[in-house]
Structure 1
Amino acid sequence: MSPECLDQHLQKTLSRGRVTVSRPAGCQVVPLYLFDPAVLEGPLSHQEAQAVVAEPAYWSFCWASGQVLANWILAHPHWVAGKRVLDFGSGSGVVAVAAARAGAHEVIACDLDPAALDAVAANARLNGVNVALCGNWDDRPVGIDVITAADVLYDPDNRPLLEVFRSAAPRVLLADSRIRNLGDQAYRLQTTVQARTWPDLNEFEEFNQVRIYLAGD
């Protein structure tokens, strides 16, 4: 998958949109094709702003929790090494790429957005790793050892995912900056790290505190 293809995805909502190779501050060892803020030489037009809000290209940003979880996996590779890993809500693919670089036997990136899967493919190629793609959770392969997920609890209706993940794999690595109390004691807090979305979206400071949880063995 080429960066030109990612540009085309971006330009469906932002005519000036393009990606560039960037190294997120929270995980600098993983280069990614991300939104190039240099294209915003002036305010967005009303039409552009409406389009971006209606169909945000989440995959073109590396969110704080994804950076922190990717960096943590690279620092603690034994959690994924030799395992079959599924990265849920993969977005840019930073966590999936990190798992592959940390020695996972197989990594599957799962995301409903076809553009996100294109971004994962491009970023995996950029990093010289192999990542399989899955467009629907229900189509995931059997035998998953580890599920990873970052910032998927932004909607309260997503809370049931916590139990879904635990029933689908013996180990879950979760990073979140949106909910202070998960309400599920099976998820044990490992660490809290401060990070910012890249490129920086100037989010509220509370969303820059990323907590990493482990469920299972």
Structure 2
Amino acid sequence: MTDPEAFIRAQTAIARPALVPEIPLHLATEITPIWQATEAWLGAEGIEPPFWAFAWPGSQAMARLILDDPARVAGKRVLDFAAGCGLAAIAAAKAGAALVEAAEIDPLAIAATRLNAALNGVAVSALDGDVVGAPCRWDLILAGDVCYEAPMTGHILPWLRAMAAAGAEVWLADPGRAYVPREGLAEIARLDVPVTRELEDRDNRLVRVCTLAPADHSTLHPGA
């Protein structure tokens, strides 16, 4: 992959998420053109959507909550898990977290996070690769909008619960996706997030931000 940052700059524009206008990001306005451009650039078809090119409602909700109450993250070691464009990580860094890492398996998301962190003048370490299975070294793990597919949820949820059991506070921000767990969630906030019909079937999403408990008996159920 040659110069992913140049590709991102060419295919996006600097914009501000509706709920978090304090944080400018390199974002796309339409999903189909950037998806097609990504496939052409990679020389591959059938790739995952370019999640890194949009400020998803779960990340917007967590970022808003963090910026409005910086004490929730100040001085903590924070992981933005499945970080996408890195929005929640950037908010944590702005709010005074001691260390901020952003984990992604998509190299373009890693590049986007680095670009967006630099744009906002904050330090975020982008972790390239799957951190699921890694031992806990964080005080707070932010997981926004990660329960949209059964395989993804089945892969990450046991590890996130293990992180909670190891002492980390785990936030799960859910805008009503199908595979969010019904058990082991304690709501800490609800935020109404404006969204685009490029990505959603409505103009707003009600996002619940919850802490995830380390319950070992929980199972997955369709439905929020």
Output the TM-score relative to the length of structure 2. 0.77
Residue 160 of structure 2: which of 147, 160, 165 is its match?
165
Q: In the alignment, which residue of structure 2 is the partner of 1:214?
A: 211
C-alpha spacing 1:183/1:115, structure 2 compared with 1 (3 Å): same
Answer yes or no: is the 8 Å Cα contact 1:134–1:140 preserved in 2: no
Residues 179 and 66 of structure 1, relative CA distance in 2, 3 Å threshold: same
Would the alpha carbon gap of residues 181 and 58 (structure 1) be closer, same or farther in structure 2, given more than 3 Å must change? closer
Identity %: 33
Question: In structure 2, what residue type is equivalent to 1:149?
Answer: A
Post-superposition offset of 1:207: 7.4
User: CA 1:129 to 1:48, structure 2 compared with 1: closer, same or farther past 3 Å?
Assistant: closer
Aligned with residue 112 of structure 2, among 99, 119, 122? 119
Query: Is contact 1:18-1:36 (8 Å) kept?
Result: no
> For residues 38 and 7 of structure 2, what CA distance do their matches in structure 1 show?
18
User: Structure 1 counterpart of 2:202, which letter?
Assistant: E
| Contact residue 6 and residue 18 of structure 1 kept, 8 A | no
Matched residue type, 2:138:
I
Q: 1:173 is aligned with what amino acid?
A: W
Q: Deviations over 1:103-149 (max 9, x none)?
A: 10000100000100000000000000000111220585752111001
Code of the residue aligned with 1:165 in structure 2: it is L
Q: Distance in 2 between matches of 1:197 and 1:174?
A: 19
Counterpart residue type for residue 129 of structure 1? V
1:91 aligns with 2:89: no
State the SS of the aligned residue for 1:108.
Answer: strand
Aligned residue type for 1:193: L
CA displacement 1:155-196 (0-9 Å, x = unmatched): 1233343342132252011211114862222x2012222213
Give yes or no for the alignment of 1:183 onto 2:176: no
1:78 maps to 71
User: Using a 3 Å threshold, how does the CA distance of structure 1 residues 167 and 24 change in structure 2: closer, same or farther?
Assistant: same
Q: Distance in 2 between matches of 1:107 and 1:132?
A: 6
Of residues 172, 176, 187 in structure 2, which corresponds to 1:174?
172
TM superposition shift of 1:6: 3.8
Amino acid at match of 2:114: A
Q: CA RMSD in A?
A: 3.0
Secondary structure of the structure 2 residue equivalent to 1:71: helix
Offset of residue 20 of structure 1? 1.0
Aligned partner of 2:142 in structure 1 is 148
Which of 13, 21, 37 is the matching residue for 1:20? Answer: 13
Q: Which runs of 5+ in 2 are unaligned?
A: 214-224
Distance 1:203 1:191, change over 3 A: same
TM-score by length of 1: 0.79
In 1, the alpha carbon distance for the partners of 2:94 and 2:65 equals 12
How far apart are the structure 2 equivalents of 1:89 and 1:51? 21
| Contact 1:100–1:130 (Cα < 8 Å) also in 2 | yes
Equivalent-residue separation in structure 2 for 1:108 and 1:139 (angstroms): 16
Unaligned runs of 5+ in 1: 11-16
Q: Distance in 1 between matches of 2:112 and 2:38?
A: 23
Which amino acid is 1:184 matched to?
Answer: E
